[in-house]
Structure 1
């Protein structure tokens, strides 16, 4: 591969990463001004209504039910079918009794006769508790990543660089979901954890190459060594990312509306994880290491300078 001086031009990488973060923050900040919450929370986190139906025709599909709900503005409802019994569950925002009556009437007219097995309302308090648990889970995952990388590379600098890149990736996913108004439901937690895993995996691949080259090329300046390591791992990262995107793209195009937001999150996770390991984590590692080397060299100069000043002082008194 052409010997691009990525680390020598790392200020441009920083600028691009800063632009990505700024765009994500702006995308989230403008939502309240538009009269909307920052994220489009789904019924898993806000509460809602769960209706379970048993159709006389067991071959009824979720697509038929969704088509019946579209005119009511409920096309984003989560619809699932239990294969063993043929029962269909509809999870949507909180519905008043009159809204539930219209829903049942629309489904009966457009799909077929059924029996209502259950109607359950999930309150917003439960939704908030689920949201808090999800946030706590992601926070614990971040903390464990710091510990893992610190132990693996025996250096806090590696861990800090990896975690800053990880926060960059999480912010980008949040910004994309805020901008596109994709639904944030329980699957979004899986998206965030995938971001954590994919981002840290890509970063560790690059850092592993840095560690190997440190053992083989002890005389090479650290900046050039990291640049070499990034270029050596770049082809592998691109190939892995493209292969993953092909699979996720198929899910996005053919998986239906219920998994489209999930596939969108995974797509962003793959793209930003591949970028941040090269464009943010590696430059940060370079700058932190160069800063530590400068501090060490300055500390080494001070003890030798003090005896020289003392000798000069004695000569002056003589």
Structure 2
């Protein structure tokens, strides 16, 4: 991206990156990401975790080799319910795990679980199957958890927009709030499509990641809006796109450093969780790492340029009415 000399700021020479002039490149990048996510959703489907759809999740440790498809057929044939299986291994302990997800409108009672345990051990006598973990969720509660999670994400985004609207009322609070909301929506979609692409089940970890990313993203956006407000007071006759480019350029180092620190720490958590096969932490850490990148990107490359477009269009409409 090109850089140009601009007016002195606080008696110091400033340099800006032309974010607004490059806006269509950024918008195209985001559009491509969304298209890839949508295509992946059609190919892979959207998988809800047991907390959101109800059913049962069983984790067995085993030795030797085991056929995951054969295990799924055994469980499905016995329970007459949709079943999916997955084989994982703990890098640290070399322990192998068979994960059985049983969907349906009810959980799995103790009698059926004991019977299933016996059938699997009979089918795979040399695998030394041992039940290490089981989770049961009724569909009613799963649906309620899903609804509450969506409401929490929606309310937080709306409250953020209202806060930005009130705080930056002098620079067009509504436009600032709406563009901050657009950036947040962009980040939520990126996190969602990350789960879809990597086939991470949508569960409580997704809600936790989304709410965390909303916090990081809006914090960066507010910093840039503050800088725009200050620079507008210093240079009231300077075009809004130049002021925005300058403000983002002055804040970009801080935004990148903050999100880089988050990315490094979350990446380390993911690596350790992957080594120890801690699925719940992996399903949080990977979307969180991608979401932190998206939060920084949307703040710098999406929210600011969109806000300038809004202001320019509004000014053009006022000028047209007054002519």
TM-score normalized by the length of structure 2: 0.73
Structure 1 gaps, min length 5: 32-37, 52-61, 78-89, 302-318
Alignment partners' CA distance in 2, 1:236 and 1:92: 44
Q: Could you say if the C-alpha distance between residues 209 and 43 of structure 1 is closer, same or farther in structure 2, counting changes exceeding 3 Å? A: same
Structure 2 gaps, min length 5: 4-14, 72-84, 90-98
Deviation at 1:217, TM superposition (A): 1.5
Deviation at 1:104, TM superposition (A): 8.1
Q: Could you say if the C-alpha distance between residues 292 and 69 of structure 1 is closer, same or farther in structure 2, counting changes exceeding 3 Å? A: farther
1:238-257 deviation line (CA, Å, top 9, x unaligned): 11111111100110101243
Whether the 8 Å CA contact 1:198–1:269 is kept in 2: the answer is no
Deviation at 1:178, TM superposition (A): 0.8
Question: What SS is found at the alignment partner of 2:40?
Answer: helix
Whether the 8 Å CA contact 1:187–1:262 is kept in 2: the answer is yes
Whether the 8 Å CA contact 1:66–1:75 is kept in 2: the answer is no
1:84-134 deviation line (CA, Å, top 9, x unaligned): xxxxxx99646554323357899xx859899x9xx8742223212211111
1:48 maps to 2:55: yes
Whether the 8 Å CA contact 1:194–1:269 is kept in 2: the answer is no
RMSD: 3.2
Whether the 8 Å CA contact 1:241–1:271 is kept in 2: the answer is yes
Question: What SS is found at the alignment partner of 1:184?
Answer: coil
Whether the 8 Å CA contact 2:54–2:138 is kept in 1: the answer is yes
Question: What SS is found at the alignment partner of 1:41?
Answer: coil
Match of 2:309 in 1: 287
Q: Could you say if the C-alpha distance between residues 23 and 112 of structure 1 is closer, same or farther in structure 2, counting changes exceeding 3 Å? A: closer
Match of 2:155 in 1: 140
Match of 1:207 in 2: 225
Alignment partners' CA distance in 1, 2:224 and 2:270: 29
Deviation at 1:288, TM superposition (A): 0.3
Alignment partners' CA distance in 2, 1:123 and 1:112: 24
Whether the 8 Å CA contact 2:213–2:288 is kept in 1: the answer is yes
Question: What SS is found at the alignment partner of 1:49?
Answer: strand
1:257 maps to 2:278: yes
Superposition map of 1:12-161 within 5 A: 12-31=25-44, 38-49=45-56, 66=61, 71=66, 73=85, 93=102, 96-97=112-113, 98-101=115-118, 110=128, 121-154=136-169, 155-161=173-179
Which residue, out of 167, 172, 182, partners 1:164?
Answer: 182
Alignment partners' CA distance in 2, 1:177 and 1:5: 33
Question: What SS is found at the alignment partner of 2:319?
Answer: helix
Whether the 8 Å CA contact 1:214–1:225 is kept in 2: the answer is yes
Q: Could you say if the C-alpha distance between residues 75 and 10 of structure 1 is closer, same or farther in structure 2, counting changes exceeding 3 Å? A: same
Larger fraction in helix: 1
Q: Could you say if the C-alpha distance between residues 68 and 263 of structure 1 is closer, same or farther in structure 2, counting changes exceeding 3 Å? A: farther
Whether the 8 Å CA contact 1:67–1:75 is kept in 2: the answer is no
Alignment partners' CA distance in 2, 1:277 and 1:70: 48
Alignment partners' CA distance in 1, 2:176 and 2:158: 14
* Count of residues paired in the alignment: 268
Match of 2:263 in 1: 245
Alignment partners' CA distance in 2, 1:70 and 1:156: 60
1:245-285 deviation line (CA, Å, top 9, x unaligned): 11001101012432112101111110100000111101100
Q: Could you say if the C-alpha distance between residues 76 and 208 of structure 1 is closer, same or farther in structure 2, counting changes exceeding 3 Å? A: farther
Match of 2:238 in 1: 220
Structure of greater Rg: 1
1:215-234 deviation line (CA, Å, top 9, x unaligned): 21112111100000011111
